[in-house]
Chain A
């Protein structure tokens, strides 16, 4: 199967966060945005909304910082995933990720980090997004470009200084291949 990635268009995102509810509903059969693997960054003063999820970076920063070696990147699919058994819930990955893509949840009293798993090939955030702000596309140059735009928007609005200083470096590292 060809590799596909999630790309976002901040100009289409209305900030309704239906993707967050859909994500938790399908993974846990309950509705709770704090258990969602996709999050909408909202900057209410500037009117900016950017959905964000794991970008499956080429050199995942989360993998580099994980003390329990729970994070791996699959060679064929390019997918980054977290071994739930090995994860110790230290949140290093959550701090390190420039897009805050890891979510920390409590499972049976233990804290665990979770990541977007593309819903096994049919992402629910895409299905429930009315405006098409999130789409699931084939990996090509255009997709890479669109992905960068989304990520730039997040970086710019979460930490404009960091965005100016580091975005080219971070973005270079996050290429899928």
Chain B
């Protein structure tokens, strides 16, 4: 099979067995790869009775047909598991070079199941797969683990994906990390890896990805690269990286640089000055860095030259570093570089712990949490030392960190006393940096996202452009890109979800695709998959794949009890607290109205938000409909 390596690797840590299963063409054609494979395997193998930390939970690492090829930004892979944050579907798309290395080793997907008795790591050298003792690695941070493993294997070119102390200690916001700074955030997969006693997976691959029509493929790739650079916004992302978004967010009349736990959406002038990409470039920039096969190179190597963080250097500083710092009331980019490094070596997500610290800070401000609760920590806004200390306390579950390690939502439930008012979570997962109050499309797409409120699922970036021409080009209803109107948002969200799911399934980065004027999209993918695999795949077929994957993710959440209409909600603050810049709140009834539109556009039941039998059968998911009816005792 061209484009695919043709093998799925299954590692059972309980039985200590390794199985290689052939990849069926049916699975590949119906679920594309990456997130699609993961979704299907998770649905088949992890039932609602399986708890997140049970050995029966799966960790599925998967790549798509375009991964490891010359297609720009195609070096990503996807981790799917039953999420430790939501208890439902969880996935993360990760950059770096681990995904392609796994593909070159000959695997389209790796399924890890069971639980090792003692800490282990897995060493994959092409066909040779071995479960090895990791006693000596347990307790080590991500960076040290990578160094030790490279030395142990005796090859600096191997790719290492590992968890740090946060994952070992089952911190809900922990993540697997590769290439020191490429993180599988938001999917809740780090603690699942820790619960399996799996410290790391090390891969070396020497096989080739082949093509059905190599000449056609290379010619088409050239065209795609050319088309991609025609987009002006990509150039900006390439030069400034994601910090370039801060001025864009500042320019929006209402602002969407949410700070102080979402109380404020626009930075004050002096703070904004310190947080511009130009200032970052001037003070810290060393050079650009890119993930495997990516010409966009949005990451930069940064070095702090002076001040108390002098000497701190590293890669991968992006908008989360800024946004999450803003949330905690910190506007110092030197701190952000340090903050980024700390979460990376601890193996923590950057969003979840920052979200919980920001929540705790607001509780502290309002007297709900006191110095007694925090063990003497002064949780005042902008207290950099305390934040860095607290991150370590979370990763090691020490003192006050123990409370936050269970995630923001669980912490608020435990503390009570009205602290729920300051929660910015949905489905148990934290919110990202964007403020939904600036646009109706954003609000809707975050509410209905399958892994908790998330800008990477609905990908409402086109809404920034508010252009009628773009609506026409993308086949969207007129005015659907106007962020001040509520019409057409259902269809817009469906469009965004399709592109996002396909990015994660062909495994391409969302930067040159849905995040960027949507230059590379369904049409392009169909035209690239064709010469790679030799299949006569059409745009309609690939859109159907996206809808199938999305419906299955939704069905999975329904089965886990977090997939109905009531679960598609936004935090209280979005509905009730207008912010400083006279930004309108999103009224609850408006969100409900938009949700109606979305479910209708999906062909789902509007009153419950659950996929109908008709919509599932249309996508060839009759067995899913049967299963849902049987297990949940309802009539679809």
Contacts and interface: CB of A to CB of B under 8 A. Distances in A.
A128 B313 CA distance: 28
Interface in B492-533: none
A30 B69 CA distance: 8
Contacts of B313: 47
B208 A16 contact: no
A176 interface: no
6 contacts: A16-B75, A16-B294, A18-B294, A26-B218, A34-B206, A45-B147
Nearest to B238: A130
Interface in A1-24: 11-12, 14-18, 21-22, 24
Interface stretch (B115-123, B209-217, B325-333, B420-428): B209-217
Nearest to B289: A14
B179 A31 contact: no
B289 A24 contact: no
Contact of B70 (A28, A31, A42): A31
B288 A131 contact: yes
A31 B101 CA distance: 12
A28 to B, nearest CB: 7
A74 interface: no
B287 to A, nearest CB: 6
Nearest to B313: A47
A14 B146 CA distance: 20
B554 interface: no
A123 to B, nearest CB: 15
Interface in B430-474: none
A25 B210 contact: no
Contacts of B180: 44-45
Contact of B208 (A32, A128, A130): A32
B295 A16 contact: yes
Contacts of A47: 286-287, 289, 301, 313-315
Contacts of A34: 104, 205-206
| Interface size class, chain B | 35 or more
B545 to A, nearest CB: 23
Contacts, number: 87
B216 to A, nearest CB: 11
A25 B214 contact: yes
Contact of A28 (B75, B104, B208, B215): B208
B293 interface: yes
B366 to A, nearest CB: 42
B295 A32 contact: no
Contacts of B287: 11-12, 14, 47
A70 to B, nearest CB: 23
B207 interface: yes
B291 interface: yes
A44 B181 CA distance: 10
Contacts of B209: 30-32
A94 to B, nearest CB: 14
Contact of A16 (B68, B146, B293, B314): B293
B70 A18 contact: yes
A29 interface: yes
B292 interface: yes
Contacts of B69: 21, 25, 31
Given A14-B288, A18-B294, 13 more contacts: A14-B294, A16-B292, A16-B295, A16-B297, A18-B70, A18-B293, A21-B68, A25-B214, A30-B214, A32-B104, A32-B207, A32-B209, A131-B288
A33 interface: yes
A117 B603 CA distance: 57
Contacts of B143: 45
Nearest to A129: B295
Nearest to B150: A44
B97 interface: yes
A57 B153 CA distance: 32
Interface in B143-187: 143, 146-147, 156-157, 179-180
A16 B290 CA distance: 5
Contacts of B206: 32, 34
B291 A16 contact: yes
Given A21-B70, A22-B70, A30 B211 contact: yes
Contacts of B297: 14, 16, 130-131
A79 interface: no
Interface residues of A, number: 28
Nearest to A20: B293
A29 to B, nearest CB: 4
Nearest to A10: B287
A131 B211 CA distance: 27
A32 B179 CA distance: 19
A33 B97 CA distance: 11
A45 B72 CA distance: 25
Contacts of B75: 16
Contacts of A29: 210-211, 214-215
Given A14-B297, A34-B206, A128 B70 contact: yes
- Top 8 A-B pairs ranked by shortest CB distance? A16-B290, A130-B295, A29-B214, A32-B208, A14-B290, A30-B208, A14-B297, A47-B301
B289 A31 contact: no
A147 interface: no
Nearest to A33: B104
B70 A17 contact: no
Contact of B218 (A17, A25, A35, A49): A25
Interface string B133-148: 0000000000100110
Nearest to B104: A32
Given A24-B208, A30-B211, A35-B208, A17 B293 contact: yes
Contacts of B208: 24, 28, 30-32, 35
A44 B288 CA distance: 13
A24 B297 CA distance: 21
A22 B217 CA distance: 12
Nearest to A28: B208
A25 B104 CA distance: 14
Contacts of B293: 16-18, 21
B102 to A, nearest CB: 13
Nearest to B315: A47
Interface string B310-322: 0001110000000
Contact of B290 (A15, A26, A30, A45): A15
Contacts of B292: 16-17
Interface string A29-70: 111111100000010110101000000000000000000000
A31 B68 contact: yes
Contacts of A21: 68-70, 293
Q: Which of A14, A18, A33, A35 has the most CB of B within 10 A?
A: A14
A32 B286 CA distance: 30
Contacts of B97: 17
